[in-house]
């Protein structure tokens, strides 16, 4: 799989230095600067330490199953901002190039927040997932209908169970219990950062659920 991150540091050079520092115990296969420059840091066939404690579709050793791309952006802590056009163009080109060498399904092109909800929020709600998918990489859907009342933390019942089952089927760590707990809220927020970017509040409104259903169909 491919896992996209933002660096979450004050500058690109600072992030590059950290990724190249053995003492930091963190690494990624690539770093993409804001001006579009691409740095190859770890060979694709080697493990890089970028995902940390993570999970997707029953797999927990994400570092051993993924290629990590760090995208220079100060992140939410240091002044989160839109990703420049040159940078996104470079990311799209890089992803396309990587996929010529590896068999990576669109449903396995993910954000760090997808594989580590509640712990990570990058690359965040400003990353243009729709643009990436329109270029042929990743999933994106635009469902027509968005029926139903919102579900939120504290609620219980069959609707919550079905929601959790849907997230589990897509790949998230969200075992169905029928109780909308803090873990479910974190998963909903992660999903929204990727596929419902105009609303990142952890509330599963009708559009959030409609997009989940449409994505399950697209990934089938």
Catalytic residues: 70
Minimal CA–CA distance to 109: which of 135, 84, 83, 85?
Answer: 135
Residue 208: which residues within 8 A CB-CB, separation 6 or more?
188, 191, 192, 196, 199
DSSP codes, 36-48? S-EEE-S-TTS--
Distances in Å between the Cα of 157 and the Cα atoms of 73, 151, 163, 174, 190 are: 40, 10, 10, 15, 22
Nearest to 174 by CA among 58, 61, 66, 62: 58
Separation of first and last alpha carbons in the chain: 17
Contacts of 213 (CB under 8 A, 6+ apart): 143, 166
Asked if residues 20 and 29 have their Cβ atoms less than 8 Å apart, the reply is no
């Amino acid at each position: 799989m491919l896992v996209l991150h933002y660096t979450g540091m004050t500058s690109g050079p600072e992030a590059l230095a950290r990724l190249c520092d053995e003492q930091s115990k963190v690494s990624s296969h690539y770093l993409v600067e804001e001006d579009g420059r691409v740095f190859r840091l770890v060979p694709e066939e080697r493990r890089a330490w970028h995902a940390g404690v993570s999970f997707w579709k029953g797999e927990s050793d994400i570092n051993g199953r993924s290629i990590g791309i760090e995208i220079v952006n100060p992140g939410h802590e240091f002044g989160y901002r839109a990703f420049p056009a040159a940078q996104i163009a470079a990311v799209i080109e890089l992803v396309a190039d990587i996929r010529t060498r590896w068999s990576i399904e669109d449903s396995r092109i993910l954000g760090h927040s997808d594989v580590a909800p509640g712990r990570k929020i990058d690359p965040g709600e400003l990353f243009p997932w729709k643009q990436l998918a329109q270029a042929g990489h990743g999933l994106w859907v635009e469902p027509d209908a968005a029926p139903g009342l919102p579900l939120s933390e504290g609620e219980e019942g069959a609707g919550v169970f079905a929601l959790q089952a849907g997230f589990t089927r897509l790949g998230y760590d969200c075992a169905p219990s029928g109780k909308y707990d803090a873990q479910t809220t974190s998963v909903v927020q992660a999903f929204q950062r990727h596929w419902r970017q105009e609303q990142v509040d952890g509330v599963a409104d009708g559009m959030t659920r409609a997009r989940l259903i449409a994505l399950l169909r697209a990934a089938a």
